[in-house]
Chain A
């Protein structure tokens, strides 16, 4: 893989994160949280997608994202009102961006006019509201600014401007009406992330006539000078009729959090006089680390040489007069039609010669790294400034660690088991060491599991739009509430969760929630609520989908189940059993097959998916009041909760999630059936019996009445009774594959290594049950 491919892969990873964030933001926006933060987050996300796309040459994506971004920009500064219509358009636009990204990723080409309608609507909206303001609306066009070195003039001669950067010639003429004062105090982090204030100033210069003044009051005497600290801040005055605060903020978007920005509008028509500026100079807060000099270290030789050309008179600053001290600033001025030329006005006498040179460097430094006009460093800073730092790690690597820690846990418990009383009394230090080891291993295991854990948010966040679409299609009013979306589960579990949740919510929307008329007639609020919640309960995660709809129509469910032969005519199931019937394969009560649900696949998919990851599903319904479906999921897949049993002389484990109850054989109620086999009667239900010793061809010496029945639930809530010779207890095990070195064995789901180092086999309840049926059929 080439470097570029690596970068691309990273870009696409980031894209999917950004698109997820977009989705989240719009959920909130739709819910009415239309504040600036949300819009800014949306804008940033689209901007980042666009930036990367530009770098890789995905022109279709760039084109669309740009139009979208322009619209967002107008929305942000209030030129376009964020109506529901605009929100809907934006959500549609998110889809299109997602499609573009997917197309770019797979290398496919989308139709040339893909998303054209939306793009035209953006343009129409944008043009209608801010026709004359194209340049200002698209400050990003300045990305491809050419780097032109700007001289720093120490002499303080305003007329002595250096060369003009022709990029700035086409600037909009600024009027005298809007005067903005920006106080920009970069933090240490801004430079650490390779941001360059000059780039910001250049962008600002595009917005209007700009005057820049560096505030150098904070510069300490050399003895106190900290090489990596930041001592310099800037006063910027901008004059433009059309300028808004949002436009200025946008320039600082990528350094937000890494600097202090104070933006104030001055009286209309006030010229940016020195007096005004001086009045507005408030001392930079001491806590705000200002740091230009770090970049000194990165200066190329020729740049240093350039600096040396400066007419710095080391002695001069030392002689500086006290009466100029109040200003103590270097005024850096830039005219709208000029390059941001810098002029060094004066230096306070407190400043010693050497630091002066450094101070002089500060504005210069600002100029140097300009060669990278991309937004990338900004994005990085953006992410990191959120407070949580993260790295991307290959999941395989994490899994390897998880596996090894699993081994460690087993080895550790094996060691502990080896300790008998004599050893304990003889080697107390060893015992203590083992205890510490046990503690550390447990801690290590928890931490490793935590690495794989992720908030369920990533799944939950896809649901609001599903509900929105379902609401539209079914003409019902539905609102989704989510609770506990920061609950964390193993990544693999999360991946398996999306389909079941989709089906369950579909089911609630289609069958649960009634039409608005029916709801009103029943005295309920017109809008139905689906509540999606996640919580941790012991070693499990409970995911609950609740609706306040009509509840399960039990008569109908039973009728359909009888018609389809799922329930025999002579059996009268309990209410709870009827509720569970909705998970039976092929079951559907919907009269017409809609594209939402009704094909009868769906709820049984929920059950089988959840079973596959070691979870269980439970439904409870209240007629006229609603339905609650509870998913019980294991915290992690790497460790399985099992019941350790004995069959013959061999240890077997049965996943705890599939066990309903255990009964002593002497108390169980067996009945004979014509085939010679046995069935178990348990609470009015007849359950197929499998004697594991017989099934696995083991010889057992246990008396029949001392054996145990383990009642298990197989797929589709059918039960099966396993007879084992002994029940040893519950424990947690790490699942090992048999196929790795052998092959699949019928009736066995895998192996695991017990604390004593022996291998125990995991009973595959589902395959045992089906294999019996096959035998009967044959």
Chain B
């Protein structure tokens, strides 16, 4: 119950304080590390190409076949506005569930599983709207900054006319 409420209340310090630790899957885009809550991750697989989807924004890399289900792949780098990733076999797709949908996120590498304390989650500093829109919060781990990805925000706005 609390684990469920957690995702919505990450910004809310009092709620975060109620549960002390949080496990994250950490992955990297370039030099930067990001994390998503481990319970949302369904599968991690190597990049093996995707069928491009027409009439979608550049951060939608296409769709893949995940055991008979068609799953869209989002290019996180492109989503952050840094241009499309040129994927190789070493790139990784993290398949996650967002609501009742499954989506894949293309990242450079998966680095670690982190356990952080909820008390250590900071608000994203106001400033760039992309940061506040796509991140739920920031946490420090081993003196590295880890951005907590807001999956709902990442996968929305995929269509051209949005």
- Taking beta carbons and an 8 Å cutoff, which residues of A are in contact with B? 403, 406-407, 410, 648, 650-651, 695-698, 736-738, 740-743, 745-748, 751, 753, 757-761
Contacts and interface: CB of A to CB of B under 8 A. Distances in A.
Contacts of A746: 54-55, 160
Instruction: Please name the 8 residue pairs, one residue from A and one from B, whose CB atoms are nearest each other, closest first.
Output: A696-B54, A407-B68, A742-B72, A759-B51, A751-B70, A741-B101, A753-B65, A746-B55
Contact of A748 (B54, B64, B158): B54
Contact of A759 (B56, B70, B160): B70
B65 A758 contact: yes
B55 A747 contact: yes
Contacts of B38: none
A742 B68 contact: no
17 contacts: A407-B68, A410-B68, A738-B70, A738-B72, A740-B69, A741-B71, A742-B70, A742-B72, A742-B101, A743-B159, A745-B159, A746-B55, A747-B55, A758-B65, A759-B62, A759-B64, A759-B70
A768 to B, nearest CB: 10
B97 to A, nearest CB: 9
A99 to B, nearest CB: 40
Nearest to B68: A407
Given A406-B68, A738-B63, A742-B103, 5 more contacts: A696-B55, A697-B55, A698-B54, A759-B50, A759-B62
B47 interface: no
B49 interface: yes
Q: Per DSSP, are chain B's interface residues mostly helix, strand or loop, or mixed?
A: strand
B68 A753 contact: yes
Nearest to B62: A759
B63 A407 contact: no
Interface in B60-113: 62-65, 67-72, 101-103
A737 B159 contact: no
A716 B102 CA distance: 37
Nearest to B50: A759
Contact of B63 (A403, A410, A697, A751): A751
Interface of B: 49-56, 62-65, 67-72, 101-103, 158-160
Contacts of A696: 54-55
A745 B54 contact: yes
A759 B50 CA distance: 8
B55 A736 contact: no
Contacts of A761: 51, 53-54, 63
A2 B72 CA distance: 42
Nearest to B101: A741
A651 to B, nearest CB: 7
A741 B70 contact: yes
Contacts of B158: 742-743
A117 to B, nearest CB: 53
Contacts of A741: 69-72, 101-103
A205 B42 CA distance: 72
A758 B51 contact: yes
A753 B70 CA distance: 8
B91 to A, nearest CB: 17
B150 to A, nearest CB: 18
A517 to B, nearest CB: 59
A252 to B, nearest CB: 54
Contacts of B68: 403, 406-407, 410, 736, 753
Nearest to A651: B51
Contact of B53 (A407, A737, A748): A748
B67 A407 contact: yes
A164 to B, nearest CB: 69
Nearest to B104: A741
A650 B101 contact: no
Contacts of B67: 407
Contacts of B71: 741
Contacts of B159: 743, 745
A736 B51 contact: no
A305 B103 CA distance: 70
Which of B51, B101, B103 is most buried by chain A, counting CB atoms within 10 A of its CB? B51
Contacts of A406: 68
A759 B65 contact: yes
B54 A760 contact: no
A621 to B, nearest CB: 41
A758 B55 CA distance: 20
Contacts of A651: 51
A297 B26 CA distance: 68
A760 B63 CA distance: 9
Nearest to A752: B70
Nearest to B162: A743
A745 B51 contact: no
Nearest to B160: A746
Given A757-B65, A758-B49, A740 B70 contact: yes
A747 B67 CA distance: 25
Contacts of A760: 51
A748 B160 CA distance: 14
Nearest to A758: B51
Nearest to B56: A745
A698 B103 CA distance: 23
Which of A407, A760, A761 is most buried by chain B, counting CB atoms within 10 A of its CB? A761
Contacts of B54: 695-698, 745-748, 761
Nearest to A647: B54
Contacts of B70: 736-738, 740-742, 751, 753, 759
A479 to B, nearest CB: 50
A741 B102 CA distance: 5
A57 to B, nearest CB: 41
A695 B54 CA distance: 8
A403 B52 CA distance: 24
Contacts of B55: 696-697, 745-748
B61 to A, nearest CB: 12
Which of A738, A759, A760 is most buried by chain B, counting CB atoms within 10 A of its CB? A759
A650 B52 contact: yes
Nearest to B55: A746
Given A743-B159, A747-B55, A736 B101 contact: no
Nearest to B158: A743
B7 to A, nearest CB: 19
Contacts of B53: 738, 742, 745, 748, 761
A326 to B, nearest CB: 74
A322 to B, nearest CB: 77
Given A696-B54, A745-B53, A759 B69 contact: no
A746 B160 CA distance: 10
Nearest to A761: B51
A260 B54 CA distance: 71
A512 to B, nearest CB: 44
B84 to A, nearest CB: 14
Contacts of A745: 53-56, 159
Contacts of A747: 54-55
B42 to A, nearest CB: 11
Contacts of B50: 759
Nearest to A751: B70
A407 B62 CA distance: 21
Which of B64, B68, B72 is most buried by chain A, counting CB atoms within 10 A of its CB? B68
Nearest to A738: B70
Nearest to A408: B68
A753 to B, nearest CB: 5
A410 B62 CA distance: 20
Contacts of A742: 53, 63, 70, 72, 101, 103, 158
A648 B102 CA distance: 27
Contacts of A759: 50-51, 62-65, 70
A732 to B, nearest CB: 16
A396 B83 CA distance: 43
Contacts of A695: 54
Given A410-B68, A741-B72, A757-B65, A650 B102 contact: no
Nearest to B95: A741
A741 B104 CA distance: 10
A53 B65 CA distance: 51
B83 to A, nearest CB: 17
